[in-house]
Amino acid sequence: MRLTQRSGQRLVAGIPTLWLLVLFLIPFVIVFRISFSEVRLAIPPYTPLLSWHHGAPHLEVHWSAYSFLFTDQLYISSYLYSLKVAAVSTLCCLLIGYPMAYAIAHSGSAVRPVLLMLIVLPFWTSFLLRVYAWIGLLNNNGVINNVLLYLGVIHHPLALMQTDFAVYIGIVYSYLPFMILPLYANLEKHDVTLLEAAADLGARPWRAFWRITVPQSLPGIAAGCLLVFIPAVGEYVIPTLLGRTDQLMIGRVLSDEFFENRDWPVASAVAILMLLVLVVPIMWFQRLERRELEAAK
């Protein structure tokens, strides 16, 4: 009995571990290895890290890919631009998503499933298609410009496409559900008597919201922000379709290095550096989560 239970536990924990190992850790190690090599015209298009010379192992580590990232202004500015776009989009998602999540959490039990369904509904259409649809809306002779021209609000079409604004719209629109759902899951658990206690102690509703609801929803805010921020930093499709051509985001740079330049080491170095940049917010999130677990005990 004990034995089968333990082996069952191992099986349950083993499958996802194996999955992560094969599909995440090994590819990561490969990418990590490539980032320390140099380009060469061969298959594969990079120098081996470890080779055999006269029966002895020979380790050949190149830092050139990394040093290249810091010499060419393109990469640094792409990183910074990506971080800025991701941060602004995350903030917009939070400002729009928090009231929505709050409203859903406080809606009647009859409407709530419908509202949640509406949040998830866009996922039923292809992501790519939905981003393409924005081109039709934002174009010089797209829906928005045509309506504004017709109404006489403007006399010349607004240049909406290929701007930061278009990228923000695309990211906020696409990632908003990832902000709303964890926030809703958090806000829905809140104890109403805490707000009553705050009111009883003299706090007006708005203050009670700031002092009680917001601090208690921090784990939800963190989860939502990470779910938006992390994919937004590496976002490729949205900036490619809607964004500027003079300033690339890092996802686009990575893909160009890989497919256009066929510079695998630099592409890998770009990916590794992006990972390092993202480790900081992930660790912050884990700390918050640990704190919440402690408080829930």
112 class by beta-carbon count within 10 Å (0-12 exposed, 13-18 middle, 19+ buried): middle
Query: Is 278 strand, coil or helix?
Result: helix
Residues binding other proteins (CB under 8 A): 191, 193-194, 196-204, 207, 211-212, 215-216, 294-297
Q: Nearest approach, Cβ of 295 to other proteins (angstroms)? A: 5
- Any residues with CB less than 8 A from the CB of 103 and at least 6 apart, and which? 115
Which of 150, 206 has the CB closer to other proteins? 206
- Residue of 254, 266, 260 whose CA lies nearest to 38: 266
- Count CB atoms within 10 A of the CB of residue 132: 13
Which of 100, 194 has the CB closer to other proteins? 194
Which of 61, 295 has the CB closer to other proteins? 295
Q: Nearest approach, Cβ of 219 to other proteins (angstroms)? A: 10
Which of 166, 212 has the CB closer to other proteins? 212
- Any residues with CB less than 8 A from the CB of 233 and at least 6 apart, and which? 82, 83, 86, 250, 251, 274, 277, 278
* Gap between the Cα atoms of 187 and 194, Å rounded: 13
Which of 175, 285 has the CB closer to other proteins? 285
- Residue of 76, 128, 120 whose CA lies nearest to 248: 76
Q: What is the CA radius of gyration of the chain?
A: 24
User: Residue 46 gets which letter from DSSP?
Assistant: B
Which of 55, 215 has the CB closer to other proteins? 215
Which of 246, 294 has the CB closer to other proteins? 294
H or E element, residue 56: strand 56-59
Q: Nearest approach, Cβ of 93 to other proteins (angstroms)? A: 24
Q: Nearest approach, Cβ of 190 to other proteins (angstroms)? A: 11
Q: Nearest approach, Cβ of 214 to other proteins (angstroms)? A: 10
In DSSP terms, which residues pair with 57 in a beta bridge? 52
Query: Is 41 strand, coil or helix?
Result: coil
Q: Nearest approach, Cβ of 145 to other proteins (angstroms)? A: 48
- Residue of 215, 122, 222 whose CA lies nearest to 172: 122
Q: Nearest approach, Cβ of 283 to other proteins (angstroms)? A: 21
